């Protein structure tokens, strides 16, 4: 015997027709909301208070100032200002940089790329290889002493193994943390608030 019409309905059909599967999910007139009687956390209350005052949210405040290598204008990155990996202030400056490919142009990661005999090289690695007289070995990196990726002078370059470079960067980071404890504490608190809020 076949089933009566409408006796067996799929979940999709019931969902499309707006039918609820259990009486717990049915909301009638005057039904209490899920948040009735519950209190918000202090962080949520503070966020709501700042929103009413028109204060910017944490993500919008996490911005940095950068200088464009083409026109030297300062611009903001991070949050709603755009990705932190941005190098140029505008499309015009990016196009000017792209036009300088023969003389060397700046890549998205901040390093200058040059072209020699039809081959593309990173300038800092090319200059280190010329200085050493042989190609860099696998696992060797060129460290910029002052932190400027575009400053490829001989006195600003140092060839290290990858392991030594990681150790050096960790040591420099620990020195910076010791000198700027207030900034580290503020960044940690901001991270905890955003992590607790699910951001």
pLDDT digits (tens, 9 = 90+) for 111-125: 888 877 778 888 888
- The mean pLDDT value for 65-89 works out to 82
Long-range contacts of 152-159 (CB under 8 A, 24+ apart): 152/112, 152/123, 152/124, 152/127, 154/127, 157/124, 157/127, 157/128, 157/131, 159/128, 159/132
Higher pLDDT, 59 or 98: 98
Of 23-27, 102-106, 171-175, the range with the lowest mean pLDDT is 23-27
Question: SS3 breakdown of the chain: % helix, strand, coil, rounded to 5?
Answer: 40, 15, 45
Beta bridge partners of 113: 105, 122
pTM of model > 0.85? no
CA distances from 9 to 12, 19, 20 (A): 8, 11, 13
């Amino acid at each position: 015997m076949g089933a009566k019409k409408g006796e067996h309905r799929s979940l999709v059909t019931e969902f499309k027709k707006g039918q609820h599967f259990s009486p717990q999910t049915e909301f009638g007139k005057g039904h209490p909301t899920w948040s009735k009687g519950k209190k918000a956390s202090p962080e949520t209350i503070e966020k709501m208070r700042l929103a009413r005052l028109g204060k910017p949210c944490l993500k919008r405040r996490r911005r940095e100032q950068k200088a464009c290598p083409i026109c030297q204008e300062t611009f903001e990155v991070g949050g709603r200002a755009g990705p932190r990996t941005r190098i140029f202030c505008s499309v015009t400056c990016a196009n000017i940089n792209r036009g300088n490919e023969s003389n060397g142009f700046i890549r998205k990661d901040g390093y200058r790329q040059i072209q020699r005999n039809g081959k593309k090289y990173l300038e800092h690695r090319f200059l280190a290889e010329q200085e050493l007289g042989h190609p860099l070995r696998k696992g060797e990196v060129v460290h910029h002493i002052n932190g400027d990726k575009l400053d490829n002078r001989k006195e600003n370059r140092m060839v290290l193994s990858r392991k030594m470079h990681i150790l050096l960067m960790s040591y420099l980071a620990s020195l910076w943390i010791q000198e700027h404890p207030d900034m580290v504490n503020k960044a940690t608190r901001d991270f905890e608030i955003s992590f607790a809020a699910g951001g």
